[in-house]
Amino acid sequence: MTAFSYTVSATDGSARLGQVQTAHGVIDTPAFMPVGTAGTVKAMMSNSVAQTGAQIVLGNTYHLMLRPGADRIERLGGLHRFMNWAGPILTDSGGFQVMSLSKLRKMTEAGVTFQSHLDGSKHELTPEASIEIQRKLDSNITMQLDECPAHTEDKKIIDTSMGLSLRWARRSKDAFDDREGYGLFGIVQGGVFDDLREQSAKGLIDIGFNGYAVGGLAVGEPQEMMFKVLDGLIPHMQKDKPRYMMGVGTPADIVGSVLRGIDMFDCVMPTRSGRTGKAFTRRGDVNIRNARHADDPRPIDEHCICPACKDYSRAYIHHLIKAREILGPMLLTWHNVQYYQDLMAGLRESIGASNLDAFVKRFHNIKSQGDIEQL
């Protein structure tokens, strides 16, 4: 078996080119993880996801514990076999979904009790239970259970929440089954307050994790505030462990975060946008629903290698979306996931060649020229 490890092979400023070794393969970083919340990246087959260059996908404890159930997945050979994904899997602990989806949530020191958003059934999620569920799923990267408050500038609320998350981090670490090739990540909380972020990071480092995530951002604060938080936090994070920015985000969010030293990302944006008719391109965003595309023979992005761009026109995909044919969201989702993977490959290449600044300038200059629909 391969030990879980992280190595840095090159840096460019604060940005890092690295590799995470897991029992199910290597993750080249910076990396973007397509979100497979319920054991599937929506509108894509697992082999299609792999063809985009994605090496790791994300699943979710909250959704999988409710349906089909962690015990069932374990009996069927674990999440890798269940969803036919051979590569690494990271599972979110469920804390954010308990906050955002569940009914009648009650938080205590022990954990959180809640009613399922599916059928109203009552459940309890503790740090120990979350870790055990993720073990049954056979997740390569397990996340500690944390408390995820909504964005607020009330420091007392954030301080109390951060303290609870630290105590849950210790319990998560104690409950984790330390297997070769598997890792546990702590989650830095603290809202927009630099001193609380520092306190959280140092507390997690004292406990000791295989990697560290930044939680509680991309929850409503402006981008400049998110970057400001990272600028204050990164100096307090370990250099020899991977850093994961949870739930981020737009291409510009990712580029700015890589510049500041973040290694891993996930977001529903490329898949959700694909289902609603939006495509990300190197020249800007395209709303394929717009009537201007009805007679357009061009591909969505002439530089993209995905099937939507190689084999079909904007006019055809426009027709599919307007006709509500399921192939339309499938093609757009594939394209968007491909775009995100190409962006990450470009970032990795530029860090390795020590020309990240030039890459970032090209990225922003092209975007500033306006939407590709105008060209």
Query: Is 263 a known active-site residue?
Result: no
Does residue 103 sit in helix, strand or coil? strand
Q: Can you tell me the distance from the alpha carbon of 70 to that of 185, in angstroms, rounded to the nearest whole number? A: 20
- Average pLDDT by stretches of 10, the chain with 375 residues: 94 98 98 97 98 98 96 98 98 86 84 90 95 98 92 93 97 98 98 97 98 92 95 98 96 98 98 98 96 98 97 98 98 98 98 98 80 43
Q: Which domains does the chain carry?
A: 5-267 (3.20.20.105), 274-374 (no CATH)
Got the DSSP string for 184-221? EEEEE--TT-HHHHHHHHHHHHHH--SEEEE-S-SSS-
Decide: 366 and 282 in contact? Cβ < 8 Å: yes
Alpha-carbon distance values, 45 to 50, 57, 91, 138, 171 (Å): 9, 12, 19, 20, 36
Tell me, rounded to whole angstroms, the distance of Cα 353 from its chain centroid: 26
- Cα torsion 46, 217, 365, 268 to 10°: value is 20
For 267, the enclosing helix (H) or strand (E) is strand 264-267
Residue keyed to tokens 């849950």:
168
Structure tokens at 215: 């939680």
For 156, the enclosing helix (H) or strand (E) is helix 155-175
Query: Is 92 a known active-site residue?
Result: yes
Among the listed residues 138, 266, 301, 342, the single catalytic one is: 266
Among the listed residues 12, 92, 159, 301, the single catalytic one is: 92
Q: Is 196 exposed, middle or buried (0-12, 13-18, 19+ CB in 10 A)?
A: buried
Q: Is 268 exposed, middle or buried (0-12, 13-18, 19+ CB in 10 A)?
A: middle
Structure tokens at 72: 């069932």
State residue 312's pLDDT score. 98
Buried b (16+ CB within 10 A) or exposed e, 343-373: bbebbbebbeeeebeebbeebeeebeeeebb
Decide: 146 and 93 in contact? Cβ < 8 Å: yes
- 3-state class percentages of the chain: helix first, strand second, coil last, to nearest 5: 45, 20, 35
Angle in degrees, 0-180, between the axes of helices 314-322 and 327-352, rounded to the nearest 10:
130
Structure tokens at 300: 């969505």
